[in-house]
Structures are given as C-alpha cells and as structure tokens.
Structure 1
Amino acid sequence: MQNHAYAYAWLACAAVATPAIANDELTKLAETPANWAMQTGDYANTRYSKLDQINTENVKDLRVVWQFSTGVLRGHEGSPLVVDNIMYVHGPFPNPVYALDLDNDQRILWSYEPKQDPSVIPVMCCDTVNRGVAYGEGMIILHQADTTVVALDAKTGKEMWKVVNGDPKKGETGTSAPVVIKDKVIVGISGAEFGVRGHITAYNLKDGKQVWRAYTIGPDNEILMDPEKTMSLGKPVGKDSSLKTWTGDQWKIGGGTTWGWYSWDPDLNLFYYGTANPSTWNPVQRAGPDGKPIDQKWTMSIIARNPDTGMAAWAYQMTPFDEWDYDGVNEMILVDDMEIGGNKHNVLVHFDRNGFGYTLDRATGEILVAKPYDKDLNWSTGVVMDKSSPEYGRPQVVPEKSTFLSGQDVNTKNICPAALGFKDQEPAAYSPLTGLFYIPVNNVCMDYEPFKVSYTPGQPYVGATLSMFPPEGQDHTGHVTAWDAAKGEIVWKHDEPFSVWSGILTTAGGIFCHGTLEGYFKCRDQKDGKELFKHRLPSGSIGNVFTYEHKGKQYVGLYSGVGGWAGIGLAAGLDKPTDGLGAVGNYAGLKEFTALGGTLTVYSLP
C-alpha cells in the first residue's frame, strides 16, 4: 500500500505540473462525432462513435455510395481521417496520401507520394502496411516505411517538416500510425524480427525537433525509467531493471519494438502503449548465463509514460522471456468507473497476443483481471493474481508448450494461440451502451521449432520455423467475441471462416461493424452479435471500420486490400506453408475467395 500511495502522489504532482493542453483543436475535433480525427476515434481508443443515424433497425438498408482506389495492391490497414469535410486517405508502400473534398464529389484536393528507396521493402516484416496518418494543428503527419516522419499542410499537401526516425539498413521500418498528444508527435518503430532495439520518440509538432526518445531496453537513462519512481506491480522497478535481465550485450539487438497503438489519459497525463517480442525468436539463444529463462525486460510489456518528458510512470511485463512471439503491441482501451470486486476503477483494457484479456488500473498498473479471451488457449494455466506471491502477474507456462524446454531444433506441437496471437494489432472496440468490448479474433494454433541464428544488421534475426492451423476439431480460424472486462468472461462469440483482421467500430446506433479476410463488410447487433448487414468488398479487408457525418448524413466505411501477416501469401506471392513466418499454410484457402486490391468503400442509407 505504501508503494501505491507513493505512485499516486508522484502522478498527482506530475499532473499538477503539466501545462495546459496545447492542442485543444484536436481534442475538440475528436469530440465532434461528425469527424473521425484520430485513427482510434478518440484518445481512449474506444473506437465508439456517438452517431446513431445508422442503427439496428435500418442498417440492413446500407448501400455503397462511393469508392476510391489508392492505386496500391498490398495490405491496407488503418483507416482514413475525416476533418472538417476533408478526408485523408493513405496507402501501404510507397505510402501515398490523398486529400478528398467531401463537399465536391470527393475531388482530389492534393496528393503526396514520398520518394523512398524500394530496398526498404525486404526489411518490412509481414507486408508493406501502414496504419494511417495523424492530424494536428493544421497538418497531416505521415510515418513512412523508411521511417521518415513528414508533416504536410492539411490544406495544400506542402511539406512543412521532415525527420528521420530510424535506419532501414539496420532493419528499422515505419508501419505504425503516429499519435499527436498536446504539442508532440509520438512515433514508434518496427523491426524486432531484424534485431532492432525498440524505441518510442516524441517530436515537436511545430517543427519536428526531437524532444525525447525512450528505448524499450537498456540503461535506465535510455529507457527513461526512474529506479525509485517507476513502478511495476506496486513496487519500484529498481536500478538497471532492464540490463540485469539480459545476458551481456544481447539487449543491444534485443527487439521490443513499438509498432502498435497509443492511448492517452489527459487527467493523469499518461499515454499507454505496448512493446514487442525479444530478438531472436529462438529462446535458447536468449537464456541467462546459467542456461535458465530470464525476463528480458521491457519487451512484451505495457508501459505508461508522461508525454511531455517521456518518463515512465509504470510498466507491466505480460510475457516474460517470451518463447512464442506474443508481441504486446495491441491497443490499450481506456474506460472510466468500471466496477470490479465492489470498487470502481479507471481502467486500461488490453487483449494481448498471448491470449489473455487484461484489465488494469491505469494509474498504478495494478492487475485487476487477467483471463483467456478464447477457450483454446493452452500454453499457460493462467496468470498468478495473488499479490503476496513472488509469481504475481506472471503467466504459468505449461511445460509441454515451452519452446525453450523442448530445446533448439525440436518442434513443439500444437501451441495455442499461434505467434500472431488470438488477436494482433487489429483494434477491438468498446460500447458504453452494453459495457462490453468487441474483439476481432484469430482462432489459430501453431507448431514452433527454434533454430540457431546469427545477427547481421539488416538481415532477418528470427531463428524459428512455424506452421499454423486451426484448433483441433475446428474448421474456422476466426471469431468476433463480446467480452466482459470486469468479470473476464466471454459473453458470446460468432465464428468466421478466416481470422478477423479488421478493426471494429461501435456506434450509438447499437451496431458494431467489421471487415473479413475473404472480403465482406458486416454489421452486427451489439446485444447478441446477430448479423444485420453483409456486403461483398472488392478484396479481403484488414482495414479498420470508421464513421463520420457530412451534411447531416452518417457514413461508414473501410479499406479493402488483403495482406498483412494473415494475407502475406497473397500480398507477396508466397506459397510454401512455412513462409510468412508460418502464416501462409493456415491461410492458403484465401486465394479461393479474394485477390489483391486497394479500395476505400463508403456506405450510407438511401
């Protein structure tokens, strides 16, 4: 209790010392339902819209009102932005951006296509995707594949500033959407499969000058953690919290990249994000000097930081000494006043690749709930919730599913979930109408065989062969699932033939909508998941559904363009079952339903 009190006091002081929000414009835009001013809909990442013109009664009458081709035939993740009657459309490499005039039949006001060296393509893990642009202070912020961050004038497309965030020659790439918080642009980095040392960086929104950079692993002054003030499960992290959990200099090529989503609590002045896998995927090569597992912090973690300084308030590692590539980058959804155990908490809800749905107190990082959000999870018997136990917060590994205990060059069979997790980066959504979370699920398992690999800058540093397949006795690899985050329980689920790799939208109309890998747009009832609308798209969808209002009419849309990790076989022309880090074999049937594309489809009522 003393440590918790200290954490609260420190956070309170930080909040008091925080200057007024510099970017009031973006906050107001996000609070106006007619806009879709952020990739996540709002800073809380709820992906909930207050628009209700399209509802459970009339959604069946939706029709296509217009479409737009990006001109690129690779995986299309993320969504457009809509700000004051202008829509900003992005695409995968070479990362074109279009500004469309919604007042004038979607006329192209301007377009921008950066000049990038195509040599970046081979070092982009799992397709050439981009998860979207950000808006702030009259500028559109693009994080290019080659890691360049560029600010464009939102009215003209003119370059305002540019900064290089990483080095593709070392395997560093840009796939994530930036986030604008107050007067800063916050950007992560991709490339853990190439031995990249992960970091997250803040740049001045005004001129692109770097303000701070926090590495995931390394010395305290580089990971921006205070040994006494940064907390983990109610205790200070202590000196060298990262360095002492790595052997020698392994941390320098240790992974922990930051390619997911970011949420922000303005009252606490903390933003939240997840870190990715340690490098290499071969856990035997990452063992401690005594040959035993070692945590390798702060990979596979949720981290809360002050956006002004980058200093970490708390961190929680979900999968210590990862043996399965269970990246922790999935979104953090913020909900207030959730009642758990008779007490109300302002919470962070996170559906991790490792298959556990976590509910945490977002001020302290205390674990309130940690339960599997899919019944097929078999690598762990559960997360220890006893605060008095030295194992508190740790998942208990089933020995037969440990790729470390099995050993190098041994194929560990039937691990669930597969490396792409029961959910990857495709965002879940929350609805205040039901109090439920709606999860796009990958119902996939794997065999995993580690092998020895050497590190060479810019070359793959994976060290494992994977094969993926549906759980035993099942012929589908996806669900949409409704989740009670206070209880840690599945309320209901509906099966899909393929993994649901599309971000979900919820609305005040009582519906939730998503795309499917084989190429459908679907809307369902939030109460029971009943399918209310279904329409064929030009290609499979891995995009995130969004909505906006124009001239008093509500519209809903999403990208189609199959690709990403699940669709890498189609996107990159791969056909060997173990290609695409094991995904190709599991999704071989996709080619019977869809082909490549790159189209935005927008719907409305008649």
Structure 2
Amino acid sequence: MMMSRYNLAALALFSACVLMACAKQSPEAPTEASNDGQAAVAADKAQDARATDVEWLKHGLDDGENRFSTLSDISDENVGDLGLAWFYDYPTNRGMEATPLIIDGVMYTTSSWSLVYAHDAVTGELLWFYDPQVPPDWAVHLCCDVVNRGVAYQDGQLFFGTIDGRLISLNAEDGSLRWDIQTTDRSRPYSITGAPRIVRDKVIIGNGGGELGVRGYVSAYNVDTGDQIWRFYTVPGNPDDGFESDAVAAAAETWGGGAWWEVGGGGTVWDSMAYDAELDLLYVGVGNGAPWNRQIRSPDGGDNLYLSSIVALKPDDGSYVWHYQTTPGETWDYTATQHMILTELSIDGEPRDVIMQAPKNGFFYVLDRATGELLSADAYATVTWASHVDLKTGRPVETADARYLDGATGPLQFPGPIGGHNWHPMSHNPDAGLVYIPAQDTPWIYKTDEAFEHRPGYWNTGTDSVPASMPDDPELKQQVLASITGTIIAWDPIAKSARWKVEHAGPWNGGMLSTAGNLLFQGNAEGEFVAYRADTGEELWSFDAQTGIVAPPVTFRKDGTQYVAIVAGWGGALALVGGEALKAGPKPNRSRLLVFKINGDAALPPAVDKQLVFNPPEQPGSEEQIAAGKAVYLQYCVMCHGDAMVSGGATPDLRALTPEKHAQWDAVVLGGLHWQNGMVGFGEQLTKEQADNIHYYAIERAQIAAKSAATESGAQGH
C-alpha cells in the first residue's frame, strides 16, 4: 500500500540544470584515400551516409512500429567497444517504461509520475523539465505502477498522457504548456500510462483502469487546440442509455445477463496502436474485461466484444472497419493491448500486408491488415487454456477445464494474467526474418470469487487467486515457482516457430531493439543491458545498469556518431506483485537514462544496495486474525507490496518495517500519513480490525523472513 513519489529535494537541482557525467566526443578518424577511383567514390558515399543524422521520431520508430533501425555503424563486429557516453539520474524511484524520441539533436522522454524531460542528445545537458503536478494519491487507481511510456511529437509540439487521465501538449523548444485537457471521468479510476500516437492532425490516446472498474475507449483530439474529434467505445454501456454507434450496438449482442456497466466492462486501450497510411487504418489493441471473470461480468456467456481484440478504425472519424478477437469470452486477463507490428510477409508464395501480435494469451497472430483475416496463430509460449486456434473459424479451441466456473478452482494454467508477453515491445528484423518477443511463462491458479462485490476504485477481478503464494501445498507451490521463466524468442512468422531462444533468470525483462548491424538489444530484470547477435542470439556485450530494466532501447545517429539509449529503472506490474516469482530477486530502482557510443568512457557511480533487516515485534494476533489479514491484504495491498509480502524492490518491503514504522501503522494505513508518496489512507475502506489483521499478517511474514535469514547466516558461518 505504500508508494514512493519523486524526491522533491532532488527537483531543486533542475533549476540549475545539473549535468550528469558526460564523456567528450572524439573526432572521427579521416577516411583514407583509395587509389581506386570507384572505391574512393564508394568510401565518400559511405562517409556521407555515416554523417547523416538519423532520428527516432515515433514511438515504434515508424508507423508500423517495427523497432528495427537501418543503422549499422555499431555492429556485431565492434559492439564489444560500446561504452557509456553519458547518463542522467532521475529524481524518481518507480518504474521506468518510456521510449525516448530523438529529434533535431534533442532527446525527449518521460519518467514515472508523468514527468517530461528534454536533453541534449549528445552531451546529456538537461534543457528543460516539465512537471504536470499529478496528485500523488491518484496512484491508488493504477493497477501496475505510476509509469509512463513516452511522448509523441509533431511540428515542434509534444504530447503525453498523465496517470490522472489528462492529455497535455507542450512546446518542444522550451517545454512551455500549449494545452492540458481531461480525457477521462475523474469520478472513475481511469489512468493513462501509454504513449499517444499521431495521425495527421489528430493525437490518439486511450486509457487504463480495467481491473479497477471502468469502460474502455480510445479518443482523437485536434493537435492544435486539444478539442475532441471522436471517441470509439470498445465495450457497450448501459443498454437503457442507447448505443453510441452501430459497432457498439453489435458488440452489445455478445454480452449477456448481469449489469456489466456498473463495474464498467473493461476493454481499455492502454498501450499498443499502429497506423497504415496506405490503407488509412488505425489499429488499436483492446484490454481485458472488468471484472476479469466472465461468469460474473456476463453470466449468460457471449464473446463480449470488443474485449481482447484488435480493432481497425478510420482515423478521421473513429468509425469501425473490422475487428479480430484473440480471446472470445475473455476471463483470464488475456489482453490484446500488446505490441502490434505492420509489415509485408510472403504467405504461400504471395506478398501479404500483415499485422502481427503476440498478445497475453500465448499465441502469435498474423492477420491480413486490410480485412482482419486470420492467416496464422501458433503458440509462442506455454499454453494450457487452449489446444490450438482453428484457422477456419479464427477461434481458439479451449481445453475442458480452462474456465473456472461455479466456484471451482482451476488447474495450474498457462499463461497467467501477466501473459506470455506483456507490454514490453517486440522488434521485427526484416534482414533476419525474425520477430523478437520478450516472452515469459508465468502460470496462475484461477478461482471464482464467490463473495465478489463491486468495490469502486479498487481491484474488481472476480477471482480470488494469486500466483506463487496461493497454494498452501508446498509441493504445488514449488511446481508453480519452477515453471516460471523469462525468454527472448526469435520467432519466424513464416515458419511459425522459434528459430532460437535466450533464457533469462526469470520473467519481466525489457523491450527489444534490432538493427542492420546484426544486433539485438535488450535490458533485463537482472539489471543488465545486453547486445546479442541478431541472427543467432549469441551474447556479444553487456553493461551493469545497477537496476532492473523493463523499457525498450532506441538508437540514433548525430554528427556522424551512432548512439544507443535506454531508460532504466525497475518497476511495473510484476516488479510490484512478483514476490518469489521474479526469480532474479528484488532489484532496487535507480531511475536513470543511459546513452552509449563506441569508445564511450563515462562510468556510473558505485552502487550501494541496502540490505533488508527483519526485526519484527512479538505477534499479538491469532492464527484466525492472521488469515483474515492475508485475505484483506490480497484485496487491497498485494499489487503494490508483493505476493506473500515479498517486495520486488520498487516499493517498501513491509517485512522490513522498523519499530517506528510498526508504531505508525494505523497512521499510515488508515490515516494516509504518506499520501504524498502515493500511499493513501484506507480509513474509509478498512475497519480498525481489518487494518490490525493486515498488521498481524505483516508481522508473521517478517518473523518468517527473520528466521530464514538467521538460518542462512548460520549456515554461512559454518
């Protein structure tokens, strides 16, 4: 329940534009003259090409969101000489997920709490900083950390969303405000963490909050004025109020029974979009249902459109063109908001314009992007909820016990709600013919919450299961933990199989970048930034970032030098809730921007990691009170403080509270003592007895940790 806000004292440094460690640029060596005239001309052309600035103008680099750079100055032959050019430490300590943009020698990026920064891309000098002043207590309305995935740019104007649902436009030159509009209903727990996209004179943005109870939509605003141009609702509202379009009316036919609109229905467009200029189609990825459990949300069944779907819209007016639903009747949090890539593939010997996606449900989809026709769908991760996808019907063939019905506990199921692939962007390398997926196996045991009651503004999943700590059976728990993996999958969309894999210590690793230099870059949960050979997966170079990395890298060239940049900083959904499932262990958050070049010679300061100290008080609670406290903890606290109260490192570990913090328990939990850090008071939601019971559970978890630490220390002593 405790959340950290940026350090206000550190913000005072912005007025002085403090420059962090930067390496001086080295002049390029002159090109030797050749006696062969043709070779000299070729060398001159190559030198001219290397001198050409290459920018990163859009979120996915291009409208098709391929995240493949044609730069090859840094290649598999010289990447071993890559070094840190400069870095910048942000005054925040929460998840960092942004894709930087590099335009006219300026790098624009965002940090947690929706803060925006502009740096000189070569020297690292901070040019300006913008704080949208989001209310810190809005953090309670976010499922998955106070993150932001970046800005959009057009004609000297920047656009970004805020965690409290606003869309803001700034002047790129100096960071001054152009306009600031509220895109959501502030009476509902909406948020924005995704990056906007721009199509001509429109900036497109969705929102999040499905788990907490909202109705999803995507909207277009005029880039100059901020006026709303259109809005497309992804799920139907109350039928008594009528429907906004024929497409929404058609969707309503696929919902049955209950009153889904009271919770909201879900279907938020919280991340991925792509645009095809030739077809003039905007593709949006739609999220999970609210609540997750269809038996509660839509008790008469139905596909529940447009949940878990790719929807194609006309960007001028938001009108519906086609949809493809990856998970009909979604009930497992299998979103289709994951990264979508537009490209051309040879299918059965014929060129096809396609859209590719690896959504949470574990299947890799290739669709015709003009019509939505399914061309292929094959499992890229471990999948137990469906045997396959029927290419004739386009529907998954579910296994007999996939749905957790009538209060029954389902089997250990793959994927879980973290997904076979989450938001972390893929990369499509046309040279290698591969799509690189930051994949993972994270199973779950689903069970209907028979006591479900809509709690406005809080988690409304309709399932009372959690991953690793849920099984009381130690054997089953070990089975769960042993099955959790993290992987880079080099997926061949033509062969419909993995060509090679790289195994990580655990899940929740960063997004991908591939280049024409036969390189693949990725940061990981272990705190390393790594370069691989793109055609084989061989590791070629790595850098210790001193913090877990979840964001994707970018690359650019300025004044003849190619750079690679990445935003580092541990956080996001699994970093908060992962607990023992993380496997790589808890990682500290050091929010920083890292920029590399060949022969860069800057260095990070030594990292000093704080060791957790477990010093619990005597246990005043009974076994019944502790069990009751665990149940309430799973309702209100697990998404920030971790499965089994094991923090992933981005938020305080409640097992390591000091005696002073134990004494302040009620003041923090009920009274909101730390509201400015995002930890609101739960005095209106929890009784004193419930708060006490959570405290007793925290003490029990601390005592277990203390005993384990003492045993480990004794073993090391011998």
Deviations along 1:169-189, one digit per CA (max 9) or x if unpaired, are: 311011111111111000001
The one of 343, 347, 351 equivalent to 2:358 is 351
The aligned residue for residue 400 of structure 2 is 399
The aligned residue for residue 142 of structure 1 is 160
Distance 2:187 2:246 in 1: 32
CA shift at 1:512, angstroms?
0.7
Deviations along 1:200-226, one digit per CA (max 9) or x if unpaired, are: 000000110000000101279998765
The one of 115, 118, 133 equivalent to 1:99 is 118
CA shift at 1:243, angstroms?
4.1
**Over the residues paired in the alignment, what is the CA RMSD in angstroms?**
2.0
- Alignment of 1:533 with 2:541, yes or no, is yes
Equivalent positions of 1:51-130 (< 5 A) are 51-93=71-113, 95-102=114-121, 105-130=123-148
Equivalent positions of 1:52-451 (< 5 A) are 52-93=72-113, 95-102=114-121, 105-218=123-236, 226=246, 240-247=250-257, 249-251=259-261, 253-289=264-300, 293-336=301-344, 338-374=345-381, 376-386=382-392, 392-404=393-405, 407-408=406-407, 410-451=408-449
Distance 1:311 1:176, change over 3 A: same
The one of 478, 498, 510 equivalent to 1:502 is 510
Distance 1:484 1:596 in 2: 35
Structure 2 portions without partners, runs of 5+: 1-51, 469-477, 600-718
The one of 34, 50, 55 equivalent to 1:35 is 55
Distance 1:476 1:180, change over 3 A: same
8 Å CA contact retained: 2:314, 2:321: yes
**One-letter amino acid of the structure 2 residue matched with residue 257 of structure 1:** T
- Alignment of 1:584 with 2:592, yes or no, is no
Distance 1:567 1:158 in 2: 34
8 Å CA contact retained: 1:467, 1:585: no
Distance 2:243 2:355 in 1: 22
**One-letter amino acid of the structure 2 residue matched with residue 508 of structure 1:** A
Structure 1 counterpart SS, 2:466: strand
Distance 1:214 1:168, change over 3 A: same
Structure 2 counterpart SS, 1:403: coil
Distance 1:214 1:473 in 2: 41
CA shift at 1:287, angstroms?
3.8
- Alignment of 1:512 with 2:520, yes or no, is yes
Distance 2:189 2:481 in 1: 39
- Alignment of 1:604 with 2:593, yes or no, is no
Deviations along 1:383-402, one digit per CA (max 9) or x if unpaired, are: 1112xxxxx11111112232
Distance 1:365 1:222 in 2: 28
**One-letter amino acid of the structure 2 residue matched with residue 465 of structure 1:** D
Structure 2 counterpart SS, 1:240: helix
Deviations along 1:358-378, one digit per CA (max 9) or x if unpaired, are: 00000000000000012x211
8 Å CA contact retained: 2:170, 2:178: yes
Distance 2:539 2:147 in 1: 29
Distance 1:518 1:546, change over 3 A: same
Aligned residues: 535
- Alignment of 1:546 with 2:539, yes or no, is no
Distance 2:328 2:280 in 1: 27
CA shift at 1:473, angstroms?
9.1
CA shift at 1:167, angstroms?
3.0
**One-letter amino acid of the structure 2 residue matched with residue 429 of structure 1:** S
Distance 2:121 2:195 in 1: 23
Distance 1:339 1:83 in 2: 34
Distance 2:242 2:353 in 1: 30
Structure with the higher fraction of residues in strand conformation: 1
Structure 1 portions without partners, runs of 5+: 1-31, 228-236, 387-391, 569-579
Structure 1 counterpart SS, 2:571: coil
Distance 1:180 1:473, change over 3 A: closer
CA shift at 1:330, angstroms?
0.5
Distance 1:186 1:432 in 2: 28
**One-letter amino acid of the structure 2 residue matched with residue 53 of structure 1:** D
CA shift at 1:458, angstroms?
1.9
CA shift at 1:589, angstroms?
4.8
8 Å CA contact retained: 1:171, 1:194: yes
Distance 2:212 2:53 in 1: 41
8 Å CA contact retained: 2:165, 2:184: yes
- Alignment of 1:453 with 2:452, yes or no, is yes
Question: TM-score normalized by structure 2?
Answer: 0.72
Distance 1:447 1:504 in 2: 30
Equivalent positions of 1:11-26 (< 5 A) are none
**One-letter amino acid of the structure 1 residue matched with residue 88 of structure 2:** F
Distance 1:367 1:415 in 2: 25
**One-letter amino acid of the structure 2 residue matched with residue 587 of structure 1:** L
Question: TM-score normalized by structure 1?
Answer: 0.85
- Alignment of 1:464 with 2:459, yes or no, is no
**One-letter amino acid of the structure 2 residue matched with residue 371 of structure 1:** D
Distance 1:163 1:462, change over 3 A: same
8 Å CA contact retained: 1:545, 1:556: yes
**One-letter amino acid of the structure 1 residue matched with residue 180 of structure 2:** K
Distance 1:586 1:222 in 2: 45
Distance 1:247 1:585 in 2: 39
Rg bigger for which structure?
2
CA shift at 1:487, angstroms?
2.9
The aligned residue for residue 640 of structure 2 is none
- Alignment of 1:45 with 2:65, yes or no, is yes
Structure 2 counterpart SS, 1:566: helix
Structure 2 counterpart SS, 1:77: coil
Structure with the higher fraction of residues in helix conformation: 2
CA shift at 1:97, angstroms?
1.0
Distance 1:460 1:71 in 2: 29
Distance 1:351 1:33, change over 3 A: farther
Distance 1:91 1:449 in 2: 36
Distance 1:362 1:87, change over 3 A: same
CA shift at 1:500, angstroms?
4.4
Structure 2 counterpart SS, 1:396: strand
8 Å CA contact retained: 2:506, 2:584: no
Distance 1:484 1:151, change over 3 A: same
Distance 1:142 1:222, change over 3 A: farther
**One-letter amino acid of the structure 2 residue matched with residue 554 of structure 1:** Q
CA shift at 1:403, angstroms?
1.8
Deviations along 1:84-112, one digit per CA (max 9) or x if unpaired, are: 1011121011x211111235x22222110
Equivalent positions of 1:561-572 (< 5 A) are 561-568=569-576
CA shift at 1:475, angstroms?
6.5
Deviations along 1:500-536, one digit per CA (max 9) or x if unpaired, are: 4311001110111001012000111111111111111
Distance 2:384 2:527 in 1: 30
| Identity within the alignment, % | 32
Distance 1:161 1:420, change over 3 A: same
8 Å CA contact retained: 2:506, 2:583: no
8 Å CA contact retained: 1:478, 1:497: yes
8 Å CA contact retained: 1:192, 1:254: yes
